[in-house]
Amino acid sequence: DEARAEMNAAAAAAPTSASATLGSTAEAAGARRGGARRGAAWSPARSAARPTATSAAPAAPMVDAHRLPVFIVRAGLAGDLSTVKHWLMRGGSVDATWDRPDGSTKGFTLLMLAALQGQARHVELMDLLLHKMADADLTNSGGSTALMLAAANNKHTAVQRLLSAGAKTSKRAIPPMGVDKGPTALDLATRNEHEFTRVLIVAHEAAADYGMPSHRPITDLPRVVQEAAVEGDEELGVEWR
């Protein structure tokens, strides 16, 4: 009973709430300051009104210009033009790269990711990147260029855009073990039986051999063939050849 009485007395003497504790602490702090501003009473509201270093808004994180963040990789695969454009405006590099999380392939650019998908919205993204001077001949760790990825996956319009931008058809991917030479974009299209993609590359190389401007040989194809490339009309491409 005596011990219980002592505990009750101690509890009665202790602050009953956080506000009581805050008030007692404030009074002590005010006394130490010597009654700043002619003894004006301290209050939590007055203290909160004064700006402090910790209350300042944090600065926006800097963009790592040479590495593609995951959300931009996803935007590239989705053909999200607005998100990519905003990131580039904030200082992102048009040739920034991304590595697969498993480390199997490194050095994918936005142009590669867009070419790999090859749908209309991705081609629009490719146009933006090429306009901003993206390097169409960069390779990933496997030696693949954007043109190779598009050709291997039969993305006609992406192939056309890259050829028009002057992408080199002579570049080769890293060969498999025991093979002397890696495949070119033409080799990949042929191996995968993507006939119309193959025709586009052959026509481009033929135009270059005849001395047509290397940065726009594909535009010298007949309009009907260009439209067939966009629409994926392989029969017309094969007939024209």
SS3 content of the chain, % helix, strand, coil (to 5): 55, 0, 40
pLDDT digits (tens, 9 = 90+) for 31-71: 455 544 454 444 444 444 454 444 444 444 445 678 999 99
pLDDT of residue 207: 81
- Return contacts of 202-210, CB within 8 angstroms, 24+ apart: 202/241, 203/241, 204/163, 204/169, 205/169
Instruction: Report residue 113 as tokens.
Output: 């990711």
Nearest to 183 by CA among 212, 210, 143: 143
Instruction: Report residue 216 as tokens.
Output: 């726009």
Element (H, E) at 10: helix 2-13
Cβ(144)–Cβ(106) under 8 Å?
no
Instruction: Report residue 96 as tokens.
Output: 């920034």
pLDDT of residue 198: 94
Cα(207)–Cα(83) distance, rounded to whole angstroms?
A: 37
Q: Crossing angle for the helix pair 223-231 and 195-209, nearest 10 degrees?
A: 140
pLDDT of residue 206: 87
- The pLDDT tens digits along the chain (241 residues) read 555 445 454 444 444 444 443 344 445 445 455 544 454 444 444 444 454 444 444 444 445 678 999 999 999 999 999 999 999 999 999 999 999 999 999 999 999 999 999 999 999 999 999 999 999 999 999 999 999 999 999 999 999 999 999 999 999 999 988 899 999 999 999 999 999 999 999 999 988 776 555 444 444 455 556 666 656 565 555 554 5
Q: How far is CA 102 from the centre of its chain?
A: 18
pLDDT of residue 173: 96
Cβ(88)–Cβ(94) under 8 Å?
yes
What's the distance, Cα to Cα, between the start and end of the chain in Å? 107
Nearest to 207 by CA among 222, 229, 188, 189: 222
pTM for this entry: 0.65
CA 74 → CA 14, 77, 127, distances in Å?
57, 5, 18
Nearest to 156 by CA among 69, 106, 221, 92: 221
One-character DSSP codes across 61-114: PPP-TTB--HHHHHHHHHT-HHHHHHHHHTT--TT-EE--TTSSS--EEHHHHH
One-character DSSP codes across 110-141: HHHHHHHH-SHHHHHHHHHHHHTT--TT---T
